[in-house]
Amino acid sequence: GGHPLSDNFRISGCTQPPCKLKRNTVVLLDFKFTPDEDVASVKNTVYAKIAGIPFPFIGVDGTDACHQIFLPDDSKAGCPLKAGQEYVYKNNLKVLEIYPKLRVVVHWALTVPGNKDL
């Protein structure tokens, strides 16, 4: 068994990793973060590693994340983001039928221009 998920990170239907994602479902995820510098734009970087090779999540990886960023009071924040301000990222991940039935580690990051993780 893993450790419980951080209070800053929530995945629907999962309190402790590894999280099982069922195909043909929608998984709600959100996490809190505070940038340490002003950020003009943010994109999703999402991939699963299968046999050591990263496979991007089609339709999610590389997409703009600004519309998925909120303030702690649930009002839309959008971009640019201010240093020192807490934000909440929210997304609904469609677990598609075509995804293989494998145990994979999913890497999910918000990246800023230059492909640097936020």
pLDDT band for 49, please (50, 70, 90 cuts): confident
Can you give the pLDDT at residue 4?
65
Region of 47 on the Ramachandran plot (φ > 0 left; ψ -120 to 50 alpha; else beta)? beta
Q: Is 0.75 surpassed by the pTM of this model?
A: yes
Q: Which two tokens stand for residue 11?
A: 């995945």
Task: Check if the beta carbon of residue 1 is closer than 8 Å to that of residue 57.
Answer: no
- Segments making up each domain of the chain, as ranges: 34-89+97-117
CB 113 within 8 A of CB 40: yes
The CATH code belonging to domain 34-89+97-117 is 2.60.40.770
pLDDT tier at 88 (50, 70, 90 boundaries)? Answer: very high
Q: Identify which of 66, 90, 112 has the alpha carbon closest to the alpha carbon of residue 8.
A: 90
At 86 the pLDDT is 96
Report the pLDDT value the prediction gives residue 5, as an integer from 0 to 100: 61
Distances (CA, A) of 72 to 12, 35, 59: 18, 14, 26
**Which strand (E) or helix (H) includes residue 67?**
none
Q: Residue 72: which pLDDT band, with cuts at 50, 70 and 90?
A: very high
- The tokens of 118 are what? 């936020």
HSE-up of residue 96 (Cα within 13 Å, Cβ side): 7
* Residue 31 amino acid letter: F
